[in-house]
Structure 1
């Protein structure tokens, strides 16, 4: 699977076809959002990304040599892409039609953090912005401290593998994590600086420091319901979409 070349005509044709089918377009926030969203799906499915002069590609891990395991990984990625609302094409022999079609949608941690972003953007008082920011910076159980803990544990686990380069990679991750720890402390100090201001934002609404803060923070800590997408119905067969993908696996192209 890869992203490269001039995809604008292809995406425009896909949009036109889906409009004919009466399917609403996805409300992307920027021109790169569809590609970034597809990257995130493939990243979570276990693919490895690579950037070359020809564009951005995704491939299966080099150590995955079992054809059965390869087909299982590709099939899983296809199902996730479809659940996320993408359409694409895939060779039939890369899929395992015996696997049940994956139809679940896992709510991501990043979706919850995006709610914090929206809460800060809408804050009318510094206390509201600080309340959301504190979920990132809180000592011990804040998101940033938990992040450094996870990276440190990853380095410990990696150190136990049996390649000569594994301890080197683990040490590099620990070094990066140490630098991140310093950055976390600086961010925490900046949060305290903002908390000391305790004032209304001159360009935002004059909401109170407590009454409007609580529902916004509660919404920020909950996973956004807009993160859930329903699986769109498969498009009607067309001459350009008669690739040999089994009927149990819908045909797709990155974009919607």
Structure 2
């Protein structure tokens, strides 16, 4: 991570009077959006703004909360005096962190069965993660059904389409992958479980396990010399 990504600025723009947050990495952007900011994507940068239509006191509270949350997790934040605060709220791991943990389990899996077990957490028909995502999309569609904006019915239909079509394709294909892994009963060729046992015939007295030594990397041969061009 670049050191510059640990720095942000949250200020009221003197021209547009918007409250803008600039800088930071993806983690900082996640903190900003959880605090209520809206991302703005441009060709050369991504920045965040306060939602439109907020009274100034609510904008001030939103920006102050963002400053507090960012500083609580180690970011250096330059802020307008109105947004400055010494408060450091407790930081809790978001729900996505537990899902990312599944990726770590797959990276450590030594058999197809172990990988299938992890994918089951996604594809479970009753309580899998993808099923839960489908329920969230359905609830968001129902929420829009009750709103009275001109585009709300279209948004509700679009959310249901995402759940019925796109999410269905992901769930179906991932389910097939999980089932093929479950039937395969194979070990990963590049991974092994270390038993921490040293065989009786081990020659190296310093050995602490029976794992094979990693293969030597043979250096690439140097390029052939270039013949000098004849002088004229």
The two structures have a TM-score, normalised by structure 1, of 0.63
Match runs of 1:239-250 below 5 Å: none
Give the aligned partner of residue 27 of structure 2: 37
2:135 is equivalent to residue 149 of structure 1? yes
Tell which structure's C-alpha radius of gyration is larger. 2
Match runs of 1:215-234 below 5 Å: none
Deviations 1:43-82 (A, max 9, x none): 212211111234111111123x211111111111111111
Give every structure 1 segment of 4 or more consecutive aligned residues whose post-TM-superposition deviation is greater than 2 Å: 10-14
Q: Structure 1 residues 168, 13: CA separation in 2 closer, same or farther (over 3 Å shift)?
A: closer
Give the aligned partner of residue 178 of structure 2: 191
2:80 is equivalent to residue 91 of structure 1? yes
Cα distance in 2 for residues equivalent to 1:102 and 1:169 = 37
Give the aligned partner of residue 51 of structure 2: 61
Give the aligned partner of residue 42 of structure 2: 52
Listed as ranges, the gaps of 5+ residues in structure 2 are 8-23, 196-232
**Once superposed, what is the RMSD of the aligned Cα atoms?**
2.4
Q: Structure 1 residues 181, 207: CA separation in 2 closer, same or farther (over 3 Å shift)?
A: farther
Q: Structure 1 residues 186, 13: CA separation in 2 closer, same or farther (over 3 Å shift)?
A: closer
Cα distance in 2 for residues equivalent to 1:13 and 1:152 = 37
In 2, are the aligned partners of 1:125 and 1:207 still within 8 Å (CA)? no
Match runs of 1:1-256 below 5 Å: 11=4, 35-63=25-53, 65-93=54-82, 95=83, 101-179=87-165, 180-206=167-193
The two structures have a TM-score, normalised by structure 2, of 0.69
Deviations 1:102-142 (A, max 9, x none): 42112211111121111110111111111122111111100
Instruction: Indicate the SS of the match to 2:41.
Output: strand
Instruction: Indicate the SS of the match to 1:61.
Output: coil
